[in-house]
Amino acid sequence: MIPPVGLSGVVLEEYDVGDAHVIITDNEGKGNYVVSEPALSEQELSVYSLIMESLRTSLKTSIDIGDPLSFVDEFIWEAAEENGVVDQVKAAYKKYQYYIKRETLGYGPIDVMVRDQFVEEVSCEGFGKPVAVLHKKYTEFDWLDSNVVFPSEDNLRVFVQRFANLAGKSVTVAVPYVDAMMKEGHRIALTYGNEITLPGSSFDIRKFPEEPLSITSLLKYGTISALMAAYYWILIENRAFVLVIGPMSSGKTSMMNALLTMVSPNLKIATIEDTPELNLPHTHRLTLKSRQAYSMVEQRFNIDLMDLTKFSLRVRPDYIVVGEARGEEIKTLFQAGALGHGAVSSFHADSPEAAIVRMSSPPLNVLQAQQMLLWSLLLMQRIKLPNGKLIRRAVRSTEVAPKADGTVELVDLFRWDIRTDTFHPNTPEEVVDLSERFDTVKNLTGWSNSDLVNELNTRTDFLLQMVKNGEFRYDQVAEALGQFYRKKIGR
């Protein structure tokens, strides 16, 4: 394809995001994300500035404006009449509507990137540098530079302050960084001025998908095998203690969310997070989030994950889920496992062995006797294939097997083969023979080895049938799993 005028490199794809247009190019191995928005002439830009100034000084913005879209449309005409530019607004109304909605209801110059369903993350390390994105379809390029640039530190600082306000936070010289969540669920990290970042302000947005990835979506993408999913389904159903481990952005939260969806809808789950990211369909789900005070005077009002994990034990949940265990709360999580609660959490480590070493070391100090309560470690990895594509895979499933002398042994159950992109073992009989934790399941359920094989077959077939039926939406999967449990208890 021949690139449009003003672009360099080969055009790989073009698509619309609302009224804007996105062009992905390959410029000698460097990927670019080009945003094309309606062009404003000098006269149109002058009229637009008048309307925006009227909006900033209007008292109407401080009262209930009802429907925001209708308010913007009405205000454009009111501002046009007040400034005597009705004819000019009529001539380019769609352009003014686009930019005013972008600035007042959207995310300003990065609105297209945030709204683009294919963009996973948006990052800016400072003024004068191109805003970059991680694109789901063009992972071989890593970060794609865009044509959006904040021209000055003043310009970027104002944007960062506005972004913090949208998240209900403030960022100042006294508190020059913010880690928060937007109303859509996007996680943002902002810095203000040159207090802690040079040359000045910066931001990073990790986008939260509009709909969480279902277990069937992960099967479709090859992230996990159906047999492995059925194995974890049985473990979690029997209130196992599971840690999903891996480095940053390896898919730990998505995997946790998908696995927890398979918990019976009749049970109660308490989720505990700094920034709420888990999204479960269960009616009886208690969502707990930490609270951080910004001033030294208010530090005594902090409520951390440890406090919330302790509190969760008092509300009688069937499952306690910590979004990410990284401090003393992991001890309470182990205590929850000892009391018979199901326990699931994510944990930063690049291998099961590293996870055990990290939790054994200060400041976590999990004793070996406590480690015996852990059932399984599921290792997630973000892997670049030889063709440059990035994929996420559950590369290793390891059981923690208690020994008679009080020690634990790590026993690999599933492994992913990068050469063939397949998971092993691939038969229920092999899984039952290899799994030591299935002995615990047998004690809890009264099942025999043949019963376990049948359960694995039944659940594997159930999951694959959903994939075959094209049931990938989160609500579809939740409803199907609800039917599975209702049928199981004879209702």
Same domain, 441 and 393: yes
432 SS3 class: helix
- Among residues 154, 183, 206, which one ends one of the domains? 206
Residue 139 to residue 431: CA distance in whole angstroms: 34
The pTM of this model reads: 0.85
CA distance to 120, 178, 314, 364, per residue, from 109 (Å): 17, 20, 47, 43
CA 194 to chain centre: 29
CATH number at residue 175: 3.30.450.380
Task: List phi, psi (to 5°) of 170.
Answer: -130, 150
Same domain, 474 and 385: yes
Decide if 368 is inside a domain.
yes
Residue 288 to residue 330: CA distance in whole angstroms: 16
CA 382 to chain centre: 14
Residue 186 to residue 210: CA distance in whole angstroms: 10
CA distance to 242, 316, 376, 400, 455, per residue, from 432 (Å): 18, 32, 15, 15, 11
Q: Residue 277 in contact with residue 212, Cβ under 8 Å?
A: no
Same domain, 199 and 221: no
Same domain, 321 and 395: yes
CATH number at residue 369: 3.40.50.300
Report the pLDDT value the prediction gives residue 277, as an integer from 0 to 100. Answer: 85
Report the pLDDT value the prediction gives residue 249, as an integer from 0 to 100. Answer: 86
Same domain, 288 and 172: no
307 SS3 class: helix
Domain that holds residue 221: 215-488
Report the pLDDT value the prediction gives residue 129, as an integer from 0 to 100. Answer: 96
Q: Residue 325 in contact with residue 333, Cβ under 8 Å?
A: yes
Q: What is the mean pLDDT of each run of 10 residues along the chain (491 residues)?
A: 59 95 94 95 92 76 62 85 89 92 92 96 97 94 95 96 91 91 89 96 90 93 97 96 94 95 93 88 92 62 86 92 87 84 94 95 90 96 88 97 89 95 97 96 96 98 97 93 85 49
Same domain, 183 and 299: no
For the beta sheet containing 408-417, the strands, ordered from the edge strand earlier in sequence to the opposite edge, are: 285-289, 269-273, 319-322, 342-348, 241-246, 376-384, 390-402, 408-417, 422-424
Pair of tokens at residue 112:
């297209």
User: Side chain identity at 407, as an amino acid letter?
Assistant: T
Helix (H) or strand (E) holding 55: helix 42-57
Decide if 29 is inside a domain.
no
Max distance between CA atoms of the chain, in angstroms, equals: 87
Report the pLDDT value the prediction gives residue 295, as an integer from 0 to 100. Answer: 53
Residue 154 to residue 131: CA distance in whole angstroms: 16
Decide if 70 is inside a domain.
yes
Residue 395 to residue 7: CA distance in whole angstroms: 40
Question: In the chain, how many domains are there?
Answer: 3
Torsion on CA atoms 217, 222, 226, 228, rounded to nearest 10: -120
Report the pLDDT value the prediction gives residue 64, as an integer from 0 to 100. Answer: 53
